[in-house]
Amino acid sequence: MGGGSDQDAHVSKSSPSWTTRTEAEDGGTRVINLDHGDPTMFERFWQKMGDKCTLVISGWQSISYFSDVGNLCWFLEPELGREITRLHQLVGNAVTEDRHIVVGTGSTQLLQAALYALSPPDASEPMSVVSSVPYYSSYQPLTNYLKSGLYKWAGDACSFNRDEPYIELVTSPNNPDGFMRQPVVNRSGGTVVHDLAYYWPMYTAITSPADNDLMLFTVSKCTGHAGTRIGWALVKDKEVAKKMTEFIVLNTIGVSKDSQLRAAKIIGVVSDGCQNLDNPDEHLFQYGRRLMTERWKRLRDAVNQSGLFSLPDFPSNFCNYVSEVTEIQPAFAWLKCEGDIEDCESLLRGHKILTRNGKQFGASTKYVRVSMLDRDETFDLFIERLSSIRL
Ligand SMILES: Cc1ncc(COP(=O)(O)O)c(C=O)c1O
């Protein structure tokens, strides 16, 4: 076990279900699994929202493969397209005008659709896919697992110096370290996929609407509904959007309509909550920001006290969405072991804290990635246990 899986969705068999035990009652025996990025932190918000998102789908509904035959992405439910556009306009985090929306089974499927769409079908060599270290640990396996003749993983974007076409994956804010990012290769013949899964106000300041050619988003990190498996791409170029649609048709003949309708409902409730100024408790981004602020403060206090670890420092920026200066509060903590400790993941595993090893992100084993998005109970135990570590 441990940092075993590359996928964020990996569920540890050794991770017991949700409990409310404290560390003292638990005797330090419970395995705290913060390896994956499962966004269960949002569960409480949605419990409080009660039946607002309840959706009844009758047996006769959602039967056809087709959703909107007039649309380039003919399996996109129009309601979902409308709610995605409305939310981006409200938050101001992405330009939606003159963009095609391609829906996918999570942004994981869209990422592969993008690689397929951006690689020429008849090149003599597979296209190089790069991302700068530390990069999201799923990029390498997702690129290579089918041993495609179209594209192949070529590692760290910072050291890519071949005179050939490439695709650069830019994650901003970045998973694992939380920093805002720009492309680094900047050579001719390159295209960029902007993975903006975390460009939402609970994680970072919204400084301007992202205006890139190919942008990926997901409900997993925006509303916390990772299990609904809905992501979307905003794509400027019509031919690229067509090829991404073609990939999804070949791969899964579209995307679950039931999931799309549920995602549309949930995103709509998020937008309504943001607009309802009378009831701040229904404002998902405010809820998320508050919780992340508190968690990051507690984590920094524990890390400062221990003297064994360190965390990145982030710049503050003016957030257009909340109209004030806010700090970056990433969905993951990129924790470094200081001094002679070379393998941070093993050290923490020895204390029954499961994290993801820095080497899975192309970085040093001195680092681990820790999910900040788990339930309160798990996070509380984590802080208690981390604070008690002595060498
Ligand atoms: C940067 C990044 N991109 C994509 C994904 C995948 O998201 P989805 O659940 O939509 O497949 C994740 C999930 O952790 C992520 O961190």
CA of 26 to the centre of ligand 1 (A): 32
Grouping H, G, I as helix, E, B as strand and the rest as coil, residue 25 is helix
Pocket test residue of 108, 219, 256, 369 for ligand 1, highest count of atoms within 8 A of CB: 108
Domain covering 61-275, topology: Aspartate Aminotransferase; domain 2 (3.40.640)
* Whether pLDDT at 26 is above 80: no
Ligand 1: residue of 138, 198, 215 to mutate (most ligand atoms within 8 A of CB) is 138
Other CB atoms within 10 A of residue 359 CB: 17
Which of 6, 180, 220 has most ligand 1 atoms within 8 Å of its beta carbon, as the pocket-test mutant? 220
Q: What does the domain layout of the chain look like in residue ranges?
A: 23-47+281-387, 61-275
Quote the pLDDT of residue 10.
Answer: 42
pLDDT tens column, 339-385: 999 999 999 999 999 999 999 999 999 999 999 999 999 999 999 99
Cα separation, 57 vs 209, in Å, equals 34
- By percentage, how much of the chain surpasses pLDDT 70? 93
Q: Which of 38, 107, 180, 222 is the best mutation target for the ligand 1 pocket, counting ligand atoms within 8 Å of the beta carbon and taking the most?
A: 107
Chain centre distance of CA 81: 20
Q: How far apart, in Å, do the first and last CA atoms of the chain sit?
A: 23
CA torsion through residues 194, 334, 353, 296, sign = negative
pLDDT above 50 (res 5): no
Residue 187: per-residue pLDDT: 87
Question: Ligand 1 atom closest to Cα of 331?
Answer: 16
Q: How many residues does the chain have?
A: 391
Diameter over CA atoms, the chain: 64
Predicted local distance difference test score (pLDDT) of residue 44 = 97
- Please determine, for residue 159, whether its predicted confidence score (pLDDT) is greater than 70: yes
Q: How far is CA 100 from CA 71, 74, 76, 103, 303, in A?
A: 9, 11, 11, 10, 44
- Per-residue pLDDT tens for 207-236? 999 999 999 999 999 999 999 999 999 999
pLDDT of 1 = 31
Do 357 and 3 contact (CB within 8 A), yes or no?
A: yes
* CA-based nearest residue to 292, from 118, 45, 15: 45
CA–CA distance, 317 with 324 (Å, rounded to integer): 8
CATH for 23-47+281-387 is 3.90.1150.10
Ligand 1: residue whose CA is nearest its atom 14: 8
Check residue 29 and give its pLDDT. Answer: 84
Q: Quote the mean pLDDT of the chain.
A: 93
* Nearest Cα residue to atom 16 of ligand 1: 175
Ligand 1, residue 37: give the atom nearest the CA.
Answer: 14
162-209 residue pLDDT tens: 999 999 999 999 999 999 999 999 888 899 999 999 999 999 999 999
Angle between helix axes 257-275 and 284-306 (nearest 10 degrees) is 90
Q: Given a cut of 50, is residue 14 above it in pLDDT? A: no
3-class DSSP state of 249: helix
DSSP secondary-structure letter at 95? -
In terms of C-beta density within 10 A (0-12 exposed, 13-18 middle, 19 or more buried), how is residue 155 classed?
middle
Predicted TM-score (pTM) of the model is 0.94
Mean pLDDT of 87-114: 98
37 Cα–ligand 1 center, Å: 9
Q: Give residue-wise pLDDT tens across range 122-146.
A: 999 999 999 999 999 999 999 999 9
Does residue 15 contact residue 362 with C-beta atoms inside 8 Å? no
The ligand 1 atom nearest the CA atom of 198: 1
User: Which residues form the pocket of ligand 1, taking CB atoms under 6 Å from any ligand atom?
Assistant: 8, 37, 106-108, 136, 171, 175, 195, 197, 218, 220, 226, 231
Q: Which residues of 225-260 are buried (b: 16+ CB within 10 A; e: fewer)?
A: bbebbbbbbbbebeebbbbbbebbeeeeebbbbebb
Residue 207 pairs with which residues in a beta bridge?
A: none
